[in-house]
Amino acid sequence: MTPHRRIVLLGIDGANPQLLRQWARDGILPNLADLMSRGLSATTESLPGFFIGATWPSLYTGTSPAHHGFHYQLQLRPGTYDLYRPEQTHLVRSPPFWQFVSRAGKRVAVLDVPLSQIDTSINGVQTVEWGGHDAVYGFQTFPPALAAHIHERFGDHPLGPTCDGVRKSADDYAALVEKLVEGVRKKGQITRDVLGRERWYLFVQVFTETHCAGHQCWHLHDAGHPEHDAEIVARIGDPLRSVYVAVDRAIGEIVQDAGDALIVVLSAHGMASFYGAQFMLRDILLKLGVMKDAQPPPSAPAKEPLWVSFASAAWRSLPKSLRAHLAPLRALHQGTQRTPPPDPTLGIDADNSPCFPLSNGLGVGGIRLNIAGREPAGVLKSGDDVEAFVAQLSADLLAIVDGRTGAPLVRRVLRTRELYRGPLIDALPDLLVEWNDEVTTGSTNVGKGRAARITAHSDKLGRIEKANGYSRTGEHRTEGLLVAVGPGVTAGEIARHISVLDLAPTFCKLLDVDFPGGEGQPIAELISARASSAPAGR
């Protein structure tokens, strides 16, 4: 087998690239340090306006949301005012790069890639959401028997499908970190188990535990964070460091088993302090007079069915040994029978709202223009009417300041159509409100269980004060890290930033597989390294 005809891709999801580099230099992450010393490194860049929910779908399809159609876990159904969850139909509308590798007859193993779905035609094996951070499907595998094997040998992820939740004490955070570290250890074992089954042409595994640690524990890592608690840190240490070290250890063990494969370690997007006032965007639009609430207000989401509560209680009452025996059947049932929560409504008076907010991640707000001819009850006329409205709304948003510091609350307002082209452009928000990431708006008073109160102010808006009850102190940034090590790869640093759109075409090119329809370009430095290492005649 010729060099670089096998790839092992290991994701460190939502990890801060500056921390990865610093801790590698300091010897805290020795395995990453070794890979960086021997390989090619680069800073990756996710997509403007869509670097939170859409990062992984954009990475594995090599296309922007204007092509694959996904920007967040709750979206507007085009041509309506209805919200829906994309996983109920097709999560993405563009094929993942591993599908092309699989169709070319090359065996693949794709494990726990965030926001991906099972492909029963895959030439190999696949798992989704064994401890995935963005769990929408529940744990599933192909072939289905793999789920039973994983449950029998490794069990469930210690943390379960979500890490969000209010934590108040050192014991709470210690328990979280313990479960994350144990989850990393088990995921490493699963990875080595599947990796050792055969010489896969493409092998992918993503550690999402770093993503969770960043969201929940940034304030404990960052001594400058307003909610930093030195007493908790003195007792349990830096949670991010503990989880990153566990991932580094797991990666070192996997690399030892990977043989002559090209090793790629990737953090697709980063993490730092929580920012943004997405929880206030609806109130801001109402106060600016560009949106009106529906009358009467939308009804509250339906409660969980009573039988679900009874079933959960009954499961918890079973002996631990019996639960372990029944876990594979329960997981298979949950993976195929999950009932999604009811979809919330927009709750707007569509006849009198020139625009309305859409979920798009907490660091970047989304706004949909209510355009006549596109929306059922469109208010704005295309052309000058829309242009004048957008110019005024953008100016009004940019004038808003944080009442505590006087700093701008909004960094910039982007127009989606000026950034992206594609057949699914109408599935996206029209305006992208980038909140100022220098203004920390995280869930302050987390240790006391009280939500932060953030104030937005401008001459036109007046003053709005609202509590941020979301239990996160870390939020995403666009930058990530790529490290590649293998035959022919020369150690060094790529000076330019690498778009996440470039990764899928690069992996396919390295495996001699065509990748039609992608928007990125293969990374020349890796392609040339492969060419220089190939035997004569290739």
pLDDT at 6 over 90: yes
Say if residue 349 is in the same domain as residue 417: yes
pLDDT at 466 over 60: yes
Say if residue 179 is in the same domain as residue 328: no
Say if residue 312 is in the same domain as residue 263: no
Confidence of residue 91 (pLDDT cuts 50, 70, 90): very high
Say if residue 230 is in the same domain as residue 356: no
Domain termination site, one of 422, 455, 470: 470
Say if residue 172 is in the same domain as residue 269: yes
Amino acid at 187: K
d(CA 103, CA 176): 40
Say if residue 350 is in the same domain as residue 320: no
Residue 238 lies in a domain: yes
| Domains held by the chain: number | 3
Residue 312 lies in domain: 308-337
d(CA 419, CA 415): 7
Say if residue 462 is in the same domain as residue 416: yes
Residue 121 lies in a domain: yes
Confidence of residue 404 (pLDDT cuts 50, 70, 90): confident
Say if residue 59 is in the same domain as residue 135: yes
pLDDT digits (tens, 9 = 90+) for 255-306: 999 999 999 999 999 999 988 889 999 999 999 999 999 976 555 554 545 5
Say if residue 314 is in the same domain as residue 377: no
Say if residue 324 is in the same domain as residue 462: no
Residue 538 lies in a domain: no
Residue 332 lies in a domain: yes
* Model pTM score: 0.89
CATH assignment of the domain containing 117: 3.40.720.10
Domain termination site, one of 470, 502, 519: 470
Written in H, E and C, the secondary structure of 221-232 is: HCCCCCCCCHHH
pLDDT digits (tens, 9 = 90+) for 320-359: 555 555 555 555 455 444 555 666 778 999 999 999 999 9
Nearest alpha-carbon partner for 48 in 269, 223, 332: 269
Question: Cα separations (Å) of 97 from 59, 62, 87, 204?
Answer: 9, 7, 19, 12
Say if residue 217 is in the same domain as residue 362: no
Say if residue 232 is in the same domain as residue 188: yes
Higher-scoring residue by pLDDT: 232, 471: 232
